[in-house]
Chain A
Amino acid sequence: MQRLRRTKILIESGLAVCQKLSQQILQKYEVTVIVPPHNGLVMVKVRDQAEGKLFYLGEVLVTECRVQIGTTLGIGLVQDHQPKVAYHLAVIDAAYQAELPEVEEWEGQLAAAEDDLARIQAGEALTLERTKVHFSMMNIEGAH
């Protein structure tokens, strides 16, 4: 599974899913924390839709962690102050980078978590649809 899809599923699913996968690695391999979870900033780049130019919208608080399995590094980066999530994401990333056999088994679990997220998002979109305006024309006497 490609990194963007995987990290989106993990972060949106939250700590429990990240921890569940990372524990499988932590129980079997020696994981060294290279840079413990710490806060930093990411500057957000956007494009203005009037003239098509780029500008900076502002910064987002993030938590970053780096770990190592054998000689392979892994990074965990997540919005807000979430040190545990950052740590587990780093372990999972290192597992993918090192191509550990466990990651093969995760594909199904991640796909199932993605389905859950899609259901939640679809539910939210459907409830928002209740606020959609349905215009009807008013009959005004004498109007032509």
Chain B
Amino acid sequence: MAYVAVKGGEAAIAESIKRLRYERLRERRTIAVKAIRSGLRALVDRVMSEASLYAKELAALAIKQAEGNPEEATFLLRAYRSTLPRKYYSRLTSMGSMFVERRISAAFKDIAGGQLLGASADYTHRLLDFNLEKETSANVRAWLAAFQREQEAEKPSVMPRVELPRVTDILRSEGLLRRMQQDDTAPRDITRQSMTFPAERSERLQTLTRGESGAVVALGYAAIRGYGLAAHPTVAALMVGRVAITIDYPLGACDSDDEALYLGQVRVTEVDAIIPAAKKGQGGKQEIEIRLGYGLCFGQNESKAIAMSVLDYCLEHPIPDSPVHDEEFVLTHIDSVEASGFISHLKLPHYVTFQSELDAARRINRGER
């Protein structure tokens, strides 16, 4: 069977793109990018995390262009990112000096520095608030002024601690969790070098942190439901806060931390998950070892960071025949652009391959070989 080249559809494609714009604008309303940035904070954070690019204004623009579709917005942001030069690599970004906006522990009630709920929908009733339909700029200004007055009038008298200890240090100090050995081996970068299996830990974590939120959460959930872990993970600490980004001074020597260049701050979500595992101790005695899974991602993406910590643990401790402990299964299926790109390509013309399948089906059904 020979291939037949065909062309056509340019005019239809141009009209389709025009139609797409019409669907966005047909109700004669437009959303300002700044309104998306401030009012759709969770979606902006999700898109930045999945695009692996921290740029709030660009993420908001991508969301506007994509009409709120996260996979399309992530694709747009990744595509734009590929047009920019990578100028520098940051110095090691310290989580220890995070300005903490939220910090909770499911493992310990009393943690040094306390449990800070911060801003979260966790404690709301999930009832639709119909008042939001009538929200106006004047309402917003009045509410903010009242909020400000209340905050100023009843400030706590004790200044909080600036740097908070890690909750897992409690377990390390008791010897229940092994001490962490710092390893300064340069990480691999999956955006520069395709990942091969078995993957390095740095490749696994980079893939997980930019994974599609729904995919990461679904696989993390599957692991806990019985398709992987034989234990219930406990969140030792979940923290949301801002961390400083610094680089070595590009025009000269940078002999100390004090001579680094400060660029700004990014908001991140960090999770330490505790997973107990059975192990054989001295003399074959059955013992319980406490292990950790780690989650860290751009923005306030709490479910994703928790699920990342579960999958990190699963991939670090493989179990044969369990898909969520199989790094090739997990890491090759959680990327938003790769997964949605492949699924989307099924919409594209497959005329020749399908005709060939039809020919084969007809031949076989006629009893021919």
Residues of A in contact with B (beta carbons under 8 Å apart): 2-5, 7-8, 11, 39-62, 64, 73-75, 77-81, 93, 97, 121-123, 125-133, 135
A-B pairs with lowest CB-CB distance, top 4:
A79-B264, A61-B55, A40-B87, A58-B52
Give Cα A42–Cα B155 distance, bound, in whole angstroms: 38
A103–chain B nearest beta-carbon distance, Å = 15
Neighbour of B156 across the interface among A53, A81, A93, A129, CB < 8 A: A129
User: Contact size class for B?
Assistant: 35 or more
The SS class assigned to the B binding surface is mixed
Judge if B261 is at the interface, Cβ distance under 8 Å: yes
Contacts of B202 in A (CB 8 A): 53-56
Distance to closest chain A CB from B21 (angstroms): 25
- Once A and B bind, how many residue pairs between them come within 8 Å at the CB atom? 231
B residues near A, CB below 8 A? 48-49, 52-58, 81, 84-93, 95, 99-102, 109-110, 114-119, 151, 154-156, 158-160, 162, 166, 168, 180-187, 189, 191, 201-203, 205-206, 209-210, 244-247, 249-252, 257-266, 268, 270, 272, 291-294, 296-298, 312-313, 316
Known A41-B85, A130-B151, A135-B109: A125·B159 in contact at CB below 8 Å? yes
Among B49, B92, B116, B263, which residue has its beta carbon within 8 angstroms of that of A42?
Answer: B263
The answer, among B89, B156, B244, B268, for a CB contact under 8 Å with A43, is B89
Q: Known contacts A54-B184, A56-B187, A60-B264; decide if A48 and B205 are in contact (CB<8 Å).
A: yes
Q: Is the CB of A43 within 8 A of B298?
A: no
Q: 26 pairs across A/B with beta carbons < 8 Å?
A: A4-B257, A41-B86, A42-B245, A43-B189, A44-B245, A45-B187, A46-B93, A48-B312, A49-B166, A51-B201, A51-B294, A57-B209, A58-B53, A58-B298, A59-B54, A60-B53, A60-B54, A60-B245, A60-B266, A62-B87, A75-B249, A77-B87, A79-B266, A81-B55, A129-B160, A131-B116
